[in-house]
Amino acid sequence: MPPAADPGLVDKLVVANRILYRQGIVDGFGHASVRHDASRGHFLLARNMAPGLVRAEDIVTFDLDGAALDAAGRRVYLERFIHGEVYRARPDVQAIVHSHSPSVIPFGVTGQALRPVFHMSGFLGEGTALFEIRNVAGDTDMLVSNGPLGVALAAALGSRSAVLMRGHGSTVVGASLEQAVYRAFYAEVNARLQIQAMGLGEVTYLNA
């Protein structure tokens, strides 16, 4: 068991959940995590609950295999393996947001790339990856509910900031909790603006 996490970090994770909910990035589903400040082999994630209701006492410590160390019998998210395997594969990542934000989803089910249309979403200029769970596990419930699926998603993400999940949602990462929340929010805003712009005519993107 690692040392207790900094209470300030726990509070920031609670605030991140509330921000994501109030901005419509998550609803009753979706989740945000942050790497443990005292142990790089662990991360903090709420128990299985609606993000808008998360409190400090709901935060659980996990190892990178997705094992909950202090859940005390509470249910945990099935898709905790997204977080553990991305942290394992990406030492630079300090926080992760998985969401089903509605404007992003169409880009995962069409051949249309999600590309930056305004300056707040410049991070999308590196391109977004696409995770096709069918290529790994055949027809499933679309959930990244075990370690091998988490490994496959992390491989699809590669060195990028975001991966689209066909028919499901997206996962974004950041070098801080603030950056991950920022990217999750502006990926959704950019997707909405890009759809609007494409309806008007030829789009001039930030990148060629």
Residues involved in catalysis? 79
Let me know: does 95 contact 180? Beta carbons within 8 Å: yes
Residues 6+ apart with CB under 8 A from 57: none
For residue 144, what are its two tokens?
A: 């990244």
Let me know: does 182 contact 100? Beta carbons within 8 Å: no
* Helix intervals (H) in the chain: 7-22, 80-89, 105-108, 134-137, 147-157, 177-200
- CA torsion through residues 142, 144, 148, 152, sign: positive
